[in-house]
Amino acid sequence: MSQQDKTVPLNICVLTVSDTRTEETDKSGNLLVDKLTQAEHVLLHKKIVKDDVYQMRAVVSEWIADTSVHAILVTGGTGFTTRDSTPEALMPLFDKEVNGFGELFRHISYEQIGTSTIQSRAFAGIANHTVIFCMPGSTNACRTAWDSIIEQQLNSNYKPCNFVHHVTFRPE
């Protein structure tokens, strides 16, 4: 195996947004932890917060400010119920939006759940050289997002491009 073929392990945080889940019942967050560790990345932090704009911002802001964090995976709070506020909480923190993530996620999800995919407000962005992927709270949605999009984009060998250089290179 050449040096170029060796995957660069990233430091990743997982945030579950839910008013009801606990560590024991957090199937989506635990699935993401399993997936990222199977891909030889490092789990730095995992946390569950209530669907509250300020709690989400506090946790994600702390992780964004930590230069050792390369990526954040957020599950939950992306729907249209009164309590779903992940986009409103986290989009203001972004330096740049990754518009294609939500579009591609909904395109792929259409094959699985039909037009119900329009009720997903999956989105992504970059803040302080940290890529943040936000997806629905269902385990199937997290599996779809990871298997079809995120895993490749966090793989340093995926061509023609991926996010690894964007999150590991920090200008002085």
Instruction: Give the CA angle between residues 144, 89, 72 to the nearest 5°.
Output: 45
pLDDT band at 4 (very low <50, low <70, confident <90, very high): low
When pLDDT is averaged across residues 18-30 and rounded to a whole number, the result is 94
pLDDT for position 49: 96
Report the CATH superfamily, name and number, of domain 8-165.
MoaB/Mog-like domain (3.40.980.10)
Mean of the per-residue pLDDT values of the chain: 93
Question: What pTM was computed for the model?
Answer: 0.94
pLDDT for position 172: 63
pLDDT for position 170: 73
pLDDT for position 1: 42
Would the pLDDT of 29 be above 80?
yes
pLDDT for position 77: 85
Burial class (CB in 10 A: 0-12, 13-18, 19+), 170: exposed
Residue in 43, 1, 51, 45 with CA at minimum distance from that of residue 21:
51
pLDDT for position 135: 97
When pLDDT is averaged across residues 82-88 and rounded to a whole number, the result is 91
When pLDDT is averaged across residues 62-86 and rounded to a whole number, the result is 93
Model confidence pLDDT, tens digit, residues 131-153: 999 999 999 999 999 999 999 99
Query: What is the percent of the chain where pLDDT is above 70?
Result: 96
The domain locations on the chain are 8-165
Q: What is the DSSP letter of 116?
A: G
